[in-house]
Amino acid sequence: MKIIVLSGSPKAEKSVTLQSVKYIEHHYPEHYFEYVHIARNIKKYEANEEELKLLGQKIQDSDGVIWAFPVYYTTVPSTYKRFIELVSEKCHSCFKNKYTAVFSTSIHYADNIAHDFMRATCEDLNMKYTDYLSHDMHDLLQSKMQQNLKDFFANFITSIKEGLKVSKMFAPLKNNDFTYQGEAVAEKITTEKQVIIITDALDSDYNLLEMINTYSSCFGQPPEVINLNDLDIKGPCLGCCRCAANNICAYHDQDGYREFLDYVIVKADIIIYAGAIRGRHLSALFKLYYDRSFCYTHIPFLTGKHLGYMISGNLSDNQTLRQSLEMFNRGNINLIGFVSDESQDSSEIDRQIYSLARKGVVFAEKNYFKPDDFIGLSSEKLFADAIRGSLGGIFTADYRYYRKNGLLTKVSWGEKLQGALMRYLMGRKAFRKAVQKNMINHMISGHKKVLSSLKGEE
């Protein structure tokens, strides 16, 4: 069979992900693999539609397509995202009815979201999605995972041969033709807090621009708007990890990105991201903004900020996007909320935008930070483990930051001792019985003390 591998890593032949696909190729010599390095070719595809069509033809002539990419900021690298935008626009039918499987490497941070994103994309392209495999970047070194790779590919071939099918998981994307007419807000918010709007709006993004105007009109002193299109960004993240030791990117002072990011970090209390949905995510340019922020490696560089989102498009149809954006709220990075134009009711949208502005200011002024939920906590633990381990040997800047900020602490000795003590006592029948009998009361005994102390205060 002829398999096209759409390789997403900017590192092309030196990609970690690609080594796993090469491993598969080696074990299945009866199949022919052709590799397309998307990052290397993206400029060509952007400039020349014919090149894209040629690729489309190759895909049409193949038996199956493997999307192979590194997870970058909860989805795919910006160039891969751009490629998806291009084919969705210009070569949609090339992918139709092609069997496909999705493979990624990562450190498993939000890899589920990346795979949801890819599955939804495959469904949008009318492909015959079969399965996915998400490997840790070092999995190829383990014999169990090598077998896992072989099985994954064997299943893919079986699906093609036997015409196996899976259900669609995502509702199709709906167009939103509504035109939002915002009205300047009369009740102005005054605050010392600094608000910065980061957007990728083009002139054609009428609704988005209008949403930004309405948001700005909420303030006596209109917030600063930074358009990513106006920045001097030389290129996408190269995945070279030169930033690992000192957070100095290969591009560092060669373009305007770092200066812009550091300006936002220093200046903003509230950051509002304003973008339009393109496919299953924000634009590739927005993705570029996120990917390049990897110069701060795994450091939560927006700590202490409140983030809000104004999205043009049907956000409620696109939970993967919401989840992806919510991943950035961990530690002391607070989510204010989302506003979209999908209600198709201008006055409703006006009110939602005002509420976003008001809430953001209240949060910032009161220093109100929501504690981590599952997403935040699991992210912290995943990063802390990785940084305490081998990752922290290379990402030394992360290690220093995590240690200094107490993010590497595991369960304290006191808690461990407490757990051991309770396990010992719970092994004793009389104790266990007494605890079980009073379990519900025990669970709120501390809470009750807090409440009764309030009564004492009255």
Partner 1 sequence: MPDSLKATLNATLNFLPLMLLWGISNQHAFWAALAAASGLILLNIVKKSFNIKPIVLFLYLGLSVILYHYLKIDFVLSQKQLISSLVLGSMGLISILLNKPYTMYFAQSSYDKAFAKSPLFIEVNILITKIWTAVHFINAVMEAFNHSTYTVVITNLLVAIGIASSIMIPSMLSD
Ligand X SMILES: Cc1cc2nc3c(=O)[nH]c(=O)nc-3n(C[C@H](O)[C@H](O)[C@H](O)COP(=O)(O)O)c2cc1C
Residue number with CB closer to ligand X (11 or 305): 11
Q: % helix / strand / coil in the chain, to the nearest 5?
A: 50, 15, 35
Which of the residues 178 through 237 are near ligand X (CB under 6 A)?
237
Least CB distance to partner 1 at residue 456 (A): 15
Instruction: List, in order, residues 6 or more apart from 393 with CB less than 8 Å away.
Output: 399
The answer to whether residue 106 forms part of the interface with ligand X (CB under 6 A) is yes
For residue 446, the partner it binds in ligand X, partner 1, none, with Cβ less than 5 to 8 A by kind, is: partner 1
Q: Is 307 helix (H, G, I), strand (E, B) or coil?
A: strand
For residue 368, the partner it binds in partner 1, ligand X, none, with Cβ less than 5 to 8 A by kind, is: none
Which of the residues 56 through 85 are near partner 1 (CB under 8 A)?
none
Q: Which of 62, 139, 87, 131 is nearest to 108 (CA)?
A: 139
Which of the residues 427 through 456 are near partner 1 (CB under 8 A)?
428, 430-431, 433-435, 445-446
For residue 425, the partner it binds in ligand X, partner 1, none, with Cβ less than 5 to 8 A by kind, is: partner 1
Q: How far apart are CA 212 and CA 309, in angstroms?
A: 11
Q: Is 433 helix (H, G, I), strand (E, B) or coil?
A: helix
Least CB distance to partner 1 at residue 359 (A): 35
Least CB distance to ligand X at residue 137 (A): 3
The site map against partner 1 for 378-417 (x = CB under 8 A) is ------------------------------------x--x
Q: How far apart are CA 354 and CA 272, in angstroms?
A: 13
CB under 6 A: which stretch of 65-73, 86-94, 125-133, 411-419 binds ligand X? 65-73
Instruction: List, in order, residues 6 or more apart from 35 with CB less than 8 Å away.
Output: 5, 7, 18, 21
Least CB distance to ligand X at residue 265 (A): 17
Q: How far apart are CA 397 and CA 401, in angstroms?
A: 6
State residue 190 phi and psi, 5-degree precision.
-110, 135
Q: How far apart are CA 218 and CA 193, in angstroms?
A: 14
Cα angle for residues 286, 288, 289 (degrees, 5° grid):
65
For residue 16, the partner it binds in partner 1, ligand X, none, with Cβ less than 5 to 8 A by kind, is: ligand X
The answer to whether residue 111 forms part of the interface with ligand X (CB under 6 A) is yes
Q: Identify the DSSP state of 442.
A: H
Residue number with CB closer to partner 1 (166 or 421): 421
Q: Identify the DSSP state of 444.
A: T
Specify whether the CB–CB gap between 335 and 172 falls below 8 A: no
The number of beta carbons lying within 10 Å of the beta carbon of residue 188 is: 13
The answer to whether residue 421 forms part of the interface with partner 1 (CB under 8 A) is yes
CB under 6 A: which stretch of 9-17, 122-130, 252-260, 369-377 binds ligand X? 9-17
Binding site for partner 1 (CB under 8 A): 414, 417-418, 421-422, 424-425, 428, 430-431, 433-435, 445-446
